[in-house]
Chains A and B, each alone.
Chain A
Amino acid sequence: MKKILLTFLLAGTLFVPAFAQLTDTEQAFIQKCYDNVDKAKKQLSPETAKECVTKLNDGNASLLNKLRAETSASGNSAVAGDIVAYNNALVDLKGIIANYKGSDLADALTRVIEGEDCALCDLGLGPKPESIFAWTGEKAGGRLFEVKKSVKTWEALGEIRINSLSRPEHGFNKEKWNEQAIPLRYEKLSGWAKKEVDKLEAFAAMPGKAEGSAGYISKMARLLWEDLTMPGDEVYREKLNKLVTGAAKPDAGAVSGKTDKEDKKSKEMASSAEKAASLKGQSTASQQDALNKYFDNAEAKKGLAVTPAGGAAAVLAGGAAAPKEFKPVKMTEAQAAALSAKMATVKDGKMTGYLADEIKGTKAGNEVLDFYNKKPYDKTGYNTLNLKFEEGKGQTANALGWWSDSDRTTRVNTNLVDAYCVKNKITPEQLLASDAHMKGVATYVAPNFVHESTHQRQSAWARANGLDFVKYKGGITGAPYIYPMEKESFGMQSAFSAEKASKLGPSYLASISPSHRANAEQFMEDGLDTLSIEKHALYPGVDSMEGGAAREFKAARDVSTYVDALEQKKRTDPAGLTEKQVADLRYYKGQMDTKYKWYTMNYQKSAADEAKLLAWRDSLDDDGAIRTSAPPAL
């Protein structure tokens, strides 16, 4: 068995004894994976990294397990951890750069190069965004300009901004500007743009302007619009709109012509900034709660915008106003409690109620029912159904519902129910007394209930498998929050809606929100890939599987090194180990075992979840011929 030379990742050179359990081919492959993330060797290939991550996890992670056993026995467990952390980090970075753009890209890069436990930073990629340019140019050349634009690097700001920001009143130059973190660059540009809007307004008000001033105003307005991305900037955007409209020239509509595109950018960035700001300093569990709320908020908003006339959400948007004589009555807390009990409760070990009736008979719904009906997570105590209809306020004002890991409760917003009552011209009291209306509410909220219940099941799964190693205040534990959890939840709710549609037809599709309908359509057409990539942009602070692995193993690097030192001492001088060191060795080895278990189980679960959902999907339609008649229209 030949010896393998491993260059220690960040310092010096390490000779590692032959790995007795590895074949020559396996050893060569491990060497390749290690060399790939050796900063000194300057490879950092995302393709090699992907190959390493995939092969290490193939076949129930058999190669990774062998590597762990070998490196642990020889006191070199940090080697395995480095291979996992840094190759995953490269896969994650390439995926981010290849799949996202604009503010979504900026958010994702902020997460992986400016966040805590930055594995990429150990490879020289971060925390400054400019440090990834050379790598991007080499590994994803076509995306370099997009990356530069998204992180607002000095040279990509453009001449107008650079000239202005260089003036004494702003005092920036390239170095000073690029010293700032990505979110701060967006913030500074917003502040600058607001001042420039005021100047532009003053200019527009001047009498006797030169010919062509309307064109100038329009051009500047378009440019400034891009930078008004922070919460509260809407006022200034409105000013720009008025300025351009007031210019009344052929190009006067230039800004409004760009409104939708730039409005998207603005809202995404503002939303991201709000999210980032509100999540700062919160525990992971709190962040998860908040992010769940954000998702559902987005769903609610979508529903508001495009639900066909007559839909419940259209009422919220004012699209189906109630008759003048009808005075809406808000649901009281007591009525909300009564509604919760009628919608879903567990009696004699079985979930019952309108929601139970709505979801049963579907594959996803049956799994949810099984979960609450004590199978298979009863021992965890995490499968108790706590459903609460509650008025959303602040961040949750427009949310359909949200799952809170901290108190293990699924909440549904009573604002939705109020809207349903307005649409149907009934009071909450009448709703509670009407079987038909209770069914209608259940139909509307069921996809979200499936989504949030899936999150609860994930918590129970982590608990049951001992993967809840993240500890929070109040004795709460949980597994790291990673995006595959959302992918599964979206998959479950989409599969649920698709199956209901396949059974009930167009009338069902008209009774759910357009975003739920769109998710189901996307799922049926192309599986989970596109759905997954698009939805991840709604969760800028949440790592992918690879990103989460990189962060966790980077965070555990010191632990690995300490365990290695203790293992070596145990071999060379066992009598010299103190009692505390013996206890530490056991404890920290256990920690690392749990972390690897979390990694490999999640990797496998992610693939298994997708395989299951795709199989469900395949059962929802047949191979029959294309219809020759026009599709049904409502």
Chain B
Amino acid sequence: MKTAIFALLLSPALLSAQGQERNDKMQEKSLKHSEAPYFTVTLPAGWEKKDSPFGLSAKEKKVFGVEVFGPAGADGIECTISVHYYAPGNLLHKTMEKYIKRHAQPVLGANLDAKQYAKVKDGSVAGYSAKLFERIVYEYLPPESIKQKKVAVYEHFAVVPAKAGFFVLKYHAQKEIAKGNIKAFEGVLGSFVRLVK
């Protein structure tokens, strides 16, 4: 994995691990998370689960999973790792191909702020065949300011097909701390167990 997917991560700036605040009550051991009957993964130590907002429930969307967030970069953008199962008939991405298409290239067809997209490659996640791709996109901070800073964010996607539906394991991190925290994502990838065949 490592050798193939980090073409976008070779900047020396990535070695910086600034902003990695740790909470005093963060769990010290990694936590096995079961999203039965779809998958299990081991979540990294010290990362906290995110809550889903109101609106349609997971059951209604037919999208099931977990998202955790960890250290923040200098601009306050937190690293997140998410693992989701998109069941057949889900309301977000009908097919794996559609998911990839929406994330592996400019979704509206124009790249006005020079986002970087790596090619989609074949690979594997915990022994399962997968489509892997990464990108660097931008967030504009602060949201309520005349003077905004364009902040680079690295994202890595591993899309694992199933006979019914598909899985997405995603890593999102401010670029300068992306490499410093990638091991947490690699741990999640390595621990992934597909319960839906």
Contacts and interface: CB of A to CB of B under 8 A. Distances in A.
B140 A260 contact: no
B55 A606 contact: yes
B146 interface: yes
A264 B106 contact: no
B112 interface: yes
A510 interface: yes
Contact of B110 (A143, A263, A506): A506
B95 interface: yes
Nearest to A533: B53
A267 B112 contact: no
B52 to A, nearest CB: 7
B140 A632 contact: no
Contacts of B98: 621, 623
Contact of B148 (A144, A302, A537, A623): A302
Between B55, B76, B112, the greatest number of chain A beta carbons within 10 A of the residue's beta carbon is seen for B55
A534 B112 CA distance: 22
Interface in A585-607: 606-607
Contacts of B26: 141-142
Nearest to A487: B55
B11 interface: no
A305 B108 contact: no
Given A142-B27, A146-B23, A632-B111, A626 B92 contact: no
Interface residues of B, number: 60
A61 to B, nearest CB: 14
A297 B23 CA distance: 35
A98 B25 CA distance: 14
Given A509-B108, A509-B110, A544-B54, A621 B101 contact: yes
Given A264-B75, A529-B52, A606-B54, A634 B143 contact: no
Nearest to B21: A145
B161 interface: no
Nearest to A304: B146
Interface string A209-235: 000000000000000000000000000
Interface of A: 54, 94-95, 98-99, 101-102, 137, 140-146, 257-258, 260-261, 263-265, 267-268, 271, 297-298, 301-302, 304-306, 308, 317, 398, 484, 487, 498, 501-502, 505-506, 509-510, 514-515, 517-518, 520-521, 524-529, 532-534, 536-538, 544-546, 606-607, 610-611, 614-615, 618, 621, 623-627, 631-634
Interface of B: 21, 23-27, 46-57, 60-61, 72, 74-76, 78, 91-92, 94-95, 97-98, 100-114, 117, 120, 140-151
* 9 A-B pairs with least C-beta separation: A506-B110, A142-B48, A264-B142, A98-B51, A305-B148, A145-B23, A141-B25, A260-B149, A524-B107
